[in-house]
């Protein structure tokens, strides 16, 4: 694998760096209320108006059609410029729903949704997980009965990130009575303003309100909003998750490296109970060195994986689970180390119960073990599809 960047890639990096330096918002994303969604819409609109929207989308659908290498360069420069976190109310539309509609949708669905996703005009959320069907997605129960030219949906979804801001939802439901597991599922576009859709916020331990439970009470969805085939939702959903485990996960890896460097800076200014700097303690210095080495190894593996994807024209498949698991484990280990250095001062909240920035990062390290597929599920995928190990009984 040749890790040298072409002249075109180097020119792209300079252009991206210069634009981000002039346009990254000075204010941070609000923690609560409609201001969150508006902040995300405004940032996406700016990206769209300046020709930076849909970096991984094909040009024929309004995207930039960048190579995988240039996509990584873009994420690197966003992390360097501390641009708004790519995981916000625009993420599902850009990295899930949009690519899924491009791959599996009808011409009418593409015309209705793609440009609005790119411009920030419409925000999306995901309706996959349920109160009793999180990591085991195939056990979902939310049901859509076919009545004429509509599906009538009843049930509930949970962990609906930014659902309170969303205009549409990628919704996975069961449509075949008596079906089990991955059979009889359907991937459908749900209008979040439709009668019968209601949202209940879940305030997290970090003090914010970005996840919700969504309830469906006789929600009528036209059959022309089915993406793929009725009953073929598992195949469509696997396309969706393949996009998430491809370049869509790179931002997490690059943010991790920034957090490691921030932790090293903390170690050089925080004094422990004995009055010495944290970095002067052999145990802490050794743990920091190991975490940074692991983070650089993840970065190298990322470039290897991206090179393989570019050469094969495919997606990472089960190898994406290795990267997810490594980032999750390293993030959790890093968060614990920062907590050990800062001590009880880490657990600070303001008068509105908003977490201190370092508290937020510490708690988010635990969230990583669940979000995007639990660590247990990632290990199962690696064991089954890469190592060929027998299933546990």
Catalytic positions, written as ranges: 244
Element (H, E) at 214: strand 211-222
Residue 111, number of CB atoms within 10 A of its CB = 10
- Beta strands 150-158 and 211-222, pairing class: antiparallel
Rounded distance between C-alpha atoms, residue 225 and residue 242, angstroms: 21
φ/ψ (deg, to 5) at 339: -60, -40
Cα dist. 306→46, 293, 300, 302 in Å?
28, 20, 10, 6
Cα dist. 386→50, 243, 379, 389 in Å?
42, 19, 10, 8
Rounded distance between C-alpha atoms, residue 160 and residue 200, angstroms: 10
Structure-block tokens of residue 122:
């419409």
Helix then strand count (H, E) for the chain reads 12, 7
Closest CA to 72 of 230, 252, 213: 252
Instruction: Enumerate the β-bridge partners of residue 158.
Output: 213
Rounded distance between C-alpha atoms, residue 388 and residue 240, angstroms: 24
Cα dist. 360→157, 339, 353, 357 in Å?
25, 11, 11, 5
Say what the alpha-carbon torsion angle 199, 377, 325, 301 is, to the nearest 10 degrees.
-110
SS3 of residue 152 by DSSP: strand
- Residue 313 neighbours by CB under 8 Å, 6+ apart: none
Rounded distance between C-alpha atoms, residue 193 and residue 5, angstroms: 46
Residue 8, number of CB atoms within 10 A of its CB = 11
Rounded distance between C-alpha atoms, residue 107 and residue 94, angstroms: 18
């Amino acid at each position: 694998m040749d890790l040298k960047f072409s002249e075109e890639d180097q020119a792209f990096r300079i252009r991206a760096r210069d634009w981000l330096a002039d346009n990254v918002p000075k204010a941070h994303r609000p923690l609560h209320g409609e201001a969150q969604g508006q902040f995300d819409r405004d940032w996406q609109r700016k990206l769209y108006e300046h020709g930076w929207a849909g970096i991984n989308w094909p040009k024929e659908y309004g995207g930039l059609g960048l190579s995988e290498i240039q996509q990584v360069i873009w994420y690197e420069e966003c992390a360097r410029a501390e641009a708004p976190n790519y995981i916000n109310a625009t993420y599902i539309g850009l990295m899930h729903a949009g690519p899924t509609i491009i791959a599996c949708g009808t011409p009418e669905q593409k015309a209705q949704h793609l440009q609005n996703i790119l411009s920030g005009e419409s925000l999306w959320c995901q309706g996959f997980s349920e109160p009793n069907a999180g990591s085991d997605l195939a056990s979902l129960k939310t049901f859509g009965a076919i009545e004429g030219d509509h599906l009538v949906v009843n049930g509930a979804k949970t962990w609906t990130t930014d659902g309170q801001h969303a205009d549409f939802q990628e919704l996975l439901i069961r449509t075949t009575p008596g079906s089990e597991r991955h059979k009889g599922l359907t991937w459908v576009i749900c209008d979040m303003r439709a009668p019968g859709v209601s949202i209940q916020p879940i305030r997290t331990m970090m003090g914010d309100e970005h996840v919700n439970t969504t309830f469906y009470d006789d929600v009528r969805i036209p059959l022309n909003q089915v993406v793929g085939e009725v009953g073929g939702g598992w195949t469509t959903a696997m396309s969706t998750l393949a996009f998430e485990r491809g370049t869509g996960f790179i931002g997490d890896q690059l943010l991790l490296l920034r957090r490691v460097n921030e932790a090293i800076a903390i170690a050089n200014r925080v004094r422990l109970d004995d009055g010495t700097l944290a970095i002067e303690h052999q145990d802490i210095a050794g743990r920091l060195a190991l975490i940074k080495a692991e983070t650089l190894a993840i970065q190298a593996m990322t470039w290897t994986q991206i090179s393989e994807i570019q050469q094969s024209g495919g997606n990472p498949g089960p190898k994406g689970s290795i990267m997810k698991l490594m980032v999750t484990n390293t993030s959790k280990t890093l968060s614990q180390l920062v907590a050990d250095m800062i001590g009880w001062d880490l657990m600070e909240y303001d008068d509105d119960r908003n977490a201190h920035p370092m508290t937020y990062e510490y708690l988010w390290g635990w969230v990583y073990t669940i979000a995007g597929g639990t660590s247990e599920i990632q290990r199962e995928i690696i064991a089954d599809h890469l190592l060929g190990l027998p299933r546990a009984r």
